[in-house]
Amino acid sequence: MTKSRIHKNIIIIGAGMAGLTAALYAGRMNLSTLVLENGIVGGQIANATGIENYPGFAKVSGKELMSTLQAQAESFGAEIDEFDMIQRVQLKSTPKLVETDEHIYEADVVIIASGMNRRKLPLPEAGRYANKGVHYCELCDGHMYQDKVIAVMGGGNAAVDAANFLSKYAKKLYLIHRSRLRADEISQQKLLENPKAAVMLETEIKALHGEGRLESIDVFDKKSNQESSIAVDGIFVNIGVEPNSSLFAEELELKDGRIPAGEDCRTKIPGVFAAGDIREKEIRQLTTAAADGTAAALLAEKYIVKLQGGKSEW
């Protein structure tokens, strides 16, 4: 089947905070804008129950915040497609090409806001227990473990926050980490004071067991040099993230999986911008992702006007 060719001023890859903010600004400037999203609209933050550090909101759920932003972007004409998977990109050409399962898109500008995904549990049998005891989203799947024994793997803020959240369901909860905790002191203290919780540091998960679904895990205590088995009904894995950048590796030089770009979000390829968590930078917050999306869209408009031989109005 011959794929249709469709031209857009801007194609945004990723519908998280950075991508949807870029879509909002691009739409307001009357640029034909398409957002392609291979996962859920809203990105990882869509699953957050209570966001308390986004300006203007005392507290807001990730779903509510991102749904509002999506509606804003769409109200200004941006299209959002979360079902047409990207097969390949060609960024150095003019126009740039983005081929999906159904279409070949030509674009004046591509804004990459593809974000990151959680790292998978690095055990060969982990796939056998996917959604049968091994999980990566406590907000999605935590309710399945009411009055059950839950383990959380990881030691950063994401892991400790997940453990605190899951304690509302758990009969018993283990936080297991191979070294010391890196989470903020308030989150750590909340977990340590929880009578349901046991924190196991300097401990590694070595194996998973169960007939049909997860029933127990083998752990190795590095301090005592001893291995033991713990009966658990489920484990939630929070051991970091991986940038979604493999699609761009052939044309953009990556740094630790992320795309080098300055505060103006420009990459080394004219007309290609990187925004949000995919951009190589020191600080990654919702506010900085929104700032990236804003900068990328505004500078994209300038690039398009120059490409067309005109002058930007701002």
Asked if 296 and 112 count as a contact pair (C-beta separation under 8 A), the reply is no
Q: 272 pairs with which residues across the strands? A: 110
Buried b (16+ CB within 10 A) or exposed e, 24-45: bbbbbbebbbbbbbbbbbbbbb
**What's the distance, Cα to Cα, between the start and end of the chain in Å?**
43
What is the Cα–Cα distance from 41 to 37, expressed in whole angstroms? 7
Q: DSSP secondary-structure letter at 160?
A: H
Active-site residue, from 84, 141, 218, 221: 141
Coil, helix or strand at residue 235: strand
Q: DSSP secondary-structure letter at 126?
A: G
What is the Cα–Cα distance from 169 to 156, expressed in whole angstroms? 21
SS3 content of the chain, % helix, strand, coil (to 5): 30, 30, 40
Active-site residue, from 81, 84, 101, 140: 140
Least Cα distance to 23 among 76, 100, 64 occurs for 76
Active-site residue, from 81, 84, 137, 221: 137
Give yes or no: 265 in active site.
no
Least Cα distance to 126 among 207, 227, 200 occurs for 207
Give yes or no: 141 in active site.
yes
Coil, helix or strand at residue 172: strand
Asked if 72 and 24 count as a contact pair (C-beta separation under 8 A), the reply is yes
Close Cβ partners of 262 (under 8 Å, ≥ 6 residues apart): none
Tokens of residue 172, six digits: 């018993």
Q: Which residues are catalytic?
A: 137, 140-141
